[in-house]
Chain A
Amino acid sequence: AQTVTQSQPEMSVQEAETVTLSCTYDTSENNYYLFWYKQPPSRQMILVIRQEAYKQQNATENRFSVNFQKAAKSFSLKISDSQLGDTAMYFCAFMTPVNYGGATNKLIFGTGTLLAVQP
């Protein structure tokens, strides 16, 4: 079974500093995709960043970047220059493409890390 583990239930960071959220996953698949979603207090789920497993280069989106270690099955999220608006629950998610008819790619979520950015 595929699982996603986020071992940090809560984290705190000072505004303008850098924080890293950890995520590990377990799968026997070779082709898959990893995501980080942000859920602010508004409850809206927002896609932050995506990584394709076949790409060696780590994905980057402005202040957000990942450290993807395929052999270690690790997918951490680094937030640079943290802002108050980054305060949210962050979910790591995993998806294996499904190639047979009628099925869909299903996201498997971790349990989340609650990040608080302090002024």
Chain B
Amino acid sequence: NAGVTQTPKFRVLKTGQSMTLLCAQDMNHEYMYWYRQDPGMGLRLIHYSVGEGTTAKGEVPDGYNVSRLKKQNFLLGLESAAPSQTSVYFCASSANRGVLSPLHFGNGTRLTVT
């Protein structure tokens, strides 16, 4: 059982380049989330999805786009990368929005923008 899988694990981009981070979950979860983790900042929610075909903004959505075309996948896109987007990105999923439904996290993607 793979759980939540993020690809790639590491990436280096130049300013202005674009890329897509892929999150895949095999638990048939409805809810999926993208967080970023920065030193001294904890984890902050970028975007989330409450089901296939739906997305919504989190705390820090600017500069990112997401898509949830298939229930098991949640894509995070950077159209024009900036150094401020250097961070570790975590994807998570949960079965539903109930607070007793725990979040399952992926292992993160370390992105560096030079």
- What is the interface of chain B, defined by CB distance below 8 A to chain A? 31, 33, 40-45, 48, 50, 54, 56, 58-59, 88, 90, 92, 97-99, 102-103, 105, 107-108
Contacts and interface: CB of A to CB of B under 8 A. Distances in A.
Interface of A: 4, 9, 33, 42-47, 50, 52, 91, 95, 97-98, 102-107, 109-112
Nearest to B9: A43
Contacts, number: 55
- If over half of A's interface residues share one DSSP class (helix, strand or loop), that class is named, otherwise mixed; here it is loop
Contacts of A103: 50, 56, 97
A9 B97 CA distance: 31
B45 A106 contact: yes
A109 B44 contact: yes
Contacts of A43: 88, 107-108
A102 B50 contact: yes
A65 B78 CA distance: 40
Contacts of B92: 45
